[in-house]
Structure 1
């Protein structure tokens, strides 16, 4: 039965890493804000100041860069969503305006066709309604 036995591996003891306190985090943040890349000399100096292994400092920097990148992407996404909403609203408003103008054009063409066909009279009526008010074009807001 030895041929079917499996090798046993010894489990590594997990060492719990020590969490950094507020002062350590503040120091890391201020250094990160000054320079978000870490050279080996700077990493060693920070690790000594903080009393943590250099690898922990390097990982903190790496995680912080990733968090900043994600935060930037989220901010960009929110800005683009807001811009999209504005464009969609403007598009809808312009489509409604275009439809309204098409209807007015159709009514104006219909009125001209139903009338005596005299476009000069229609222009006079339009001018009269614009200048002094009154006339068949009062219901239209040409400048609004």
Structure 2
């Protein structure tokens, strides 16, 4: 009885596929991702495999393909995330640089206004528009005026 039991178990055991069988299954998979019943019967007969084994191979192959596609998508998204984080860090450095430059410009302007004589401050009039509040200065205009009068920082590096 033990002998017949082991024979029936080995009869149900699936055999390992040969390279030729795998090659033919792969070739068929590239054309048809889904296994139609007629094709399953044809492949089963052609390769000498049970129909169930052919069906399971296709199912497993679809699952592996999906996993590989997800891994590739993950790598692509990871690369894009790293690039975005790098850009964000660069922009944050630029913002900090500009904020520091603005602070230095405002301090320099305040210093010039508080310590200079009216004759010394004659160039400041070109940086202000009539009707503007003294405390509100448009950065672009202030910076352009400041740089054009030779008082700006010579460093223009953002990084």
* Equivalent in the alignment of 2:148: 127
Give the TM-score normalised by structure 1. Answer: 0.79
The structure 1 residue matched to 2:9, chosen from 3, 14, 22, is: 14
The number of equivalent residue pairs is: 128
The answer to whether the aligner puts 1:46 opposite 2:67 as a matched pair is no
* Equivalent in the alignment of 1:101: 98
* Cα gap change, 1:115 to 1:35, in 2 (>3 Å): same
Structure 2 unaligned residues grouped into runs of 5+: 115-120, 128-143
Counterpart secondary structure, 1:14:
helix
Structure 1 stretches of 4+ with a deviation exceeding 3 A read 120-125
The structure 1 residue matched to 2:152, chosen from 137, 141, 144, is: 137
Question: How big is the alpha-carbon RMSD for the aligned residues of Structure 1 and Structure 2?
Answer: 2.4
* Cα gap change, 1:26 to 1:87, in 2 (>3 Å): same
Structure 1 CA distance for aligned equivalents of residues 32 and 99 of structure 2: 60
Higher RCO by CA contacts (8 Å cutoff, separation 6 or greater): 2
The answer to whether the aligner puts 1:84 opposite 2:84 as a matched pair is no
Structure 1 unaligned residues grouped into runs of 5+: 1-10, 129-134
| Structure 1 residues 9-56: Cα deviation after superposition (integer angstroms, max 9, x where no partner) | xx7853231111111100000000001111111100000000010000
Counterpart secondary structure, 2:154:
coil
* Equivalent in the alignment of 2:139: none
